[in-house]
Structure 1
Amino acid sequence: MKNVKWPLLIYAILAAASIMGIGIAISEKSLIGAIGCILAVFVIMGMGFKTKRKMRENGEI
């Protein structure tokens, strides 16, 4: 548990939940929900990559 990068794990879980949300929105025939989840995936993954780059620059990875 020492080597777990908690911020990156949280971003990964949130991205996976957003991807699941896309499937749920499609099954519920909710265009707005699907678009919102797609946008959430892009934002969350972007934040995760940005955080990973900062951690790499600071020597934390």
Structure 2
Amino acid sequence: MKNVKWVFVLYALGAVLSMFMIGIAVGVKSFLLAIAAIVSLILIMGNGFKTKKKLREQGLL
């Protein structure tokens, strides 16, 4: 537990919630909710990868 990077845990949880929202949007047949969930998934995962690259370049990973 010492080496856990909590920021990445939060990014992962956000991505999973966005994926859940895509499923819910399909279930309720909401096109706008599906688009919003997909955009949010792309933004969350992009920020996660950007943060990982930044930390790797600083030697913190």
- For 2:58 and 2:6, locate their aligned partners in 1 and report how far apart those are by CA, in whole Å: 16
Query: CA shift at 1:39, angstroms?
Result: 0.3
Q: Structure 2-normalised TM-score?
A: 0.96
Seq. identity, % = 51
- RMSD between aligned residues: 0.5
Query: How far off its partner does 1:60 sit?
Result: 1.0
Query: Secondary structure of 1:59's partner?
Result: coil
Question: Aligned pairs, how many?
Answer: 61
- AA aligned opposite 1:41: L
State TM-score, norm by structure 1: 0.96
Relative contact order: is structure 1 or structure 2 higher (C-alpha 8 Å, sep ≥ 6)? 1
Alignment-mate amino acid for residue 55 of structure 2:
M
Tell me the amino acid that sits aligned with residue 6 of structure 1: W
4+ residue runs of structure 1 moved beyond 6 angstroms?
none
Gaps of 5+ in 1: none
Unaligned stretches of 5+ in structure 2?
Answer: none
